Structure 1
Amino acid sequence: MSSGSRSGMFCPQCGDPIERSPEIDLPGGPSDPDAVLCDDCYFEAFEFVDAPERIEIRVCSRCGALHRGNRWVDVGARDYTDVAIEETADRLGVHVDAEGVEWGVEPEQVDQNTIRMHCLFTGRVRETDLSEEVTVPVYIARETCDRCGRIAGDYYASIVQVRGTDRTPTAAENDRAIEIAEAYIADREATGDRNAFITETTRTDDGVDMKISTNQMGQGIAKRIVEELGGAVSEAPTLVTEDGDGNEVYRVTFTVRLPPYTPDDVVDLDDGDGPVLVTSAHGNLKGRRLATGDRYEADFEEGIAPDARKIGERADAERTTLVAIEDEHAVQILDPETFESKTVPRPSYLDPDAESVLALKHRRGLHVLPEPDAADGG
């Protein structure tokens, strides 16, 4: 033991003299009792790095979500090395007195569920350069998250049914309705909503049935389908249970009724002005008169289902020869079945210089249809 020190102070643990430190000069003395220790005693109990013995990461084996805190979080990862590095960084601690700390990590994949994190720390304490290497094993615990558990258990809160009005939806309409639903759910998932999912999609003889995770999302999907495909939505709630507070819990079936007519249908309104090629069924029925080419729009009261009957569709039309222009109201074309020359109405959209036209033959006659790129034109 030395007989004295320049500071006049001695280590309370070993009795060796110590140099005066800035903290000791502060009024009231040092806040950290270790500040009065000599370097040997200080470093004897000093822990540069505080590291856990092991780290466990809970991940969903189905969707790859990560459990953090008390909830599951989508991280969009299948390789969890980056996740392991992040979790390790969050749980490692460096002594508060260390300055100029730098660290690096080298992961070692032991097996599918184990990663060893080799971490090297460097820093400076009491003008002494320090370095320490720690190895932390990270274990990947694979589970099933709440969301995937619900899906696997066939959980759903609402049903969206797609049906036609006095008809069966077309395959294209069914496909598009499913695409709209999937896009809606994807939008909600992108915002971090883990309650958004489609449990099951079933194609039936009548249309499409989709089991949806919540009533709110079922309503949102039904609304989007109507916005694009037309029609209307009806709701039918069914009491299924009561929650813990005694509140009634309902499962709602949202039935989308698509319009009776779709674009490219040809309908007869029995109003004396000839058939109409339907161009839209949103709000109210709209189309083009095949006899004149004039625009047609149903009255507001008639909506999308005026009193009419379908007599054909664009797909039934056949290309045939334009024989002659008789006058501003009539032309001659070849009957696509008998190949006889027949006089038919001349609609405004007919190109008088064309060599051929699309013709639809039905029980009440023969009409020229607009070309596909001109069906909605002026």
Structure 2
Amino acid sequence: MSDARQFCPRCGDPVARPDDADLPGGARDPDAILCDDCYFEDFELVDAPERIEVLVCSQCGAVQRGNRWVDVDAEDYTDIAIDETAESLGVHVDAREVTWGVEPEQVDQNTIRMHATFTGFIRDTPLQEEVTVPVYIARGTCDRCGRIAGDYWNALVQVRGTNRTPTTEEMDRAETIAREYIAEREATGDRNAFITSAKRGDSGLNLKISANQMGEAIAHRIVREFGGSVSAAETLTTEDGDGNELYRVTFVARLPEFTPGDVVDFDDGDGPVLVTSAHGNLKGVRVETGERYEASHEEGIAPDGRKLGDRADVEQTTLVAVEDDRAVQVLDPETFESKTVPRPDYMHADATEVPVLRSRAGLHVLPTEDADV
């Protein structure tokens, strides 16, 4: 029977022989046969660098890790320092049940001293070790912010109206749609998603977008909400290192000429139409009869028409009398004379006041804001 004990090669004291020393692939670590006193003499529970330097983008707060920039969910640089310290510290492979805590000390604006305490078990012996690592915060500019500052873009999204300038509300909403889309891409970790600029002019809104695919998606989202159409035009800008042609693309989100709330005369003999939807074929209701209206395929998405006004021009006036099923008398809000006008189906017979639009074509009774038309 072989002796289960051997001697420490450093001090000569007897030590217990490792159970797996004779097994194939057993312990080969030369320190494994040292006695506890000699083993712990040079033992380090934690491997810590002398200092850590973190490069942070001064614009967006992204952290450089290796050759790439990473967006971090940190409230301040202390959170970043803790994360970087955790990434940089190493614990001895034989340690068990290791726990650790860290106490940051803000030395100055760019230096945080990290006091870390580790506990664990080695050879069934409890150990505790404290290390202090200074973390230096350096500031720079990430690739993404550098591109934005340099006016880098590949797609231009132009929000335009048909025979009109988009309203302030439409441009506000279009810009919000674009920023929401970019935020969705950023949430997936796409650091190449950004809006370089959003500028408004006499013709409408211009959005410079980082990538063509994103510009196209934004233009279609805008049209999906407002109606209209998207067109695209390419411009060759340069070639990449492999000789591939690179293009910038201008996407025009053309909003409909008429929008919900407009009263339009299509000169078809059936009276003006209050537009209720500009999605797909234009839809609305006839303000003289209350009948539903939808542009036919032959007429196109939006047929030619003349805008008489919109809900912003509506005034409340007195209903003087109901003449019959098709006509009522109302008080002209400008001349205060009684005028006979068509009675649409959506007008309540017991109403005392009605909303009217005054145009060159006369007075038109419109449905109330909450009417289901």
The bucket for the TM-score relative to the shorter chain is over 0.9
1:227 is aligned with what amino acid? R
1:132 matched residue in structure 2: 129
Q: What secondary structure does 1:299 align onto?
A: coil
Shift of 1:339: 1.0
Shift of 1:25: 5.1
1:64 partnered with 2:61: yes
1:84-113 deviations in Å (ceiling 9; x for gaps): 222222222222233333322211111122
Shift of 1:20: 3.1
1:19 partnered with 2:28: no
Greater displacement, 36-45 / 139-148: 36-45
Q: 1:336 to 1:67 in 2, by over 3 A?
A: same
Q: 1:340 to 1:124 in 2, by over 3 A?
A: closer
Q: Give the conservation status (yes or no) of the 8 Å contact 2:18–2:27.
A: no
Matches of 2:307 and 2:74 in 1, distance apart?
A: 52
| Cα RMSD (Å) | 1.8
1:318 is aligned with what amino acid? E
- Which of 181, 185, 192 is 2:189 aligned to? 192
2:209 matched residue in structure 1: 212
Tell me the matched-pair count. 371
2:328 is aligned with what amino acid? V
1:287 matched residue in structure 2: 284
Shift of 1:31: 1.2
- Which of 10, 29, 32 is 1:32 aligned to? 29
1:165 partnered with 2:130: no
- Which of 332, 335, 338 is 1:335 aligned to? 332
Q: What secondary structure does 2:341 align onto?
A: strand
2:91 matched residue in structure 1: 94
Shift of 1:68: 2.3
Shift of 1:78: 4.0
1:311 matched residue in structure 2: 308
Shift of 1:26: 4.0
1:365 partnered with 2:359: no
1:252 is aligned with what amino acid? V
Q: What secondary structure does 2:56 align onto?
A: strand
Q: Give the conservation status (yes or no) of the 8 Å contact 1:64–1:78.
A: no
1:249 matched residue in structure 2: 246
Greater displacement, 298-307 / 251-260: 298-307
Q: 1:28 to 1:77 in 2, by over 3 A?
A: closer
Shift of 1:248: 0.5
Q: 1:256 to 1:28 in 2, by over 3 A?
A: closer
1:348 partnered with 2:349: no
Q: What secondary structure does 1:371 align onto?
A: coil
Matches of 1:285 and 1:19 in 2, distance apart?
A: 91
Q: What secondary structure does 2:370 align onto?
A: helix
1:3 matched residue in structure 2: none
Matches of 2:187 and 2:328 in 1, distance apart?
A: 57
Q: Give the conservation status (yes or no) of the 8 Å contact 1:360–1:368.
A: yes
TM value normalised by structure 2: 0.94
Matches of 1:8 and 1:171 in 2, distance apart?
A: 88
2:358 is aligned with what amino acid? K
Q: 5+ unaligned residues in a row in structure 1: which ranges?
A: 1-5
1:346 is aligned with what amino acid? R
Shift of 1:361: 1.9
Matches of 1:102 and 1:318 in 2, distance apart?
A: 74
1:239 partnered with 2:258: no
Q: What secondary structure does 2:174 align onto?
A: helix
Greater displacement, 246-255 / 40-49: 40-49
Matches of 2:317 and 2:235 in 1, distance apart?
A: 55
1:114 matched residue in structure 2: 111
1:35 is aligned with what amino acid? A
TM value normalised by structure 1: 0.93
1:247 is aligned with what amino acid? N
Q: What secondary structure does 1:156 align onto?
A: coil
Q: What secondary structure does 2:31 align onto?
A: helix
Q: 5+ unaligned residues in a row in structure 2: which ranges?
A: none
Q: Give the conservation status (yes or no) of the 8 Å contact 1:23–1:35.
A: no
1:216-240 deviations in Å (ceiling 9; x for gaps): 1110110011001111111111011
Percent of aligned positions with the same letter in both sequences?
71
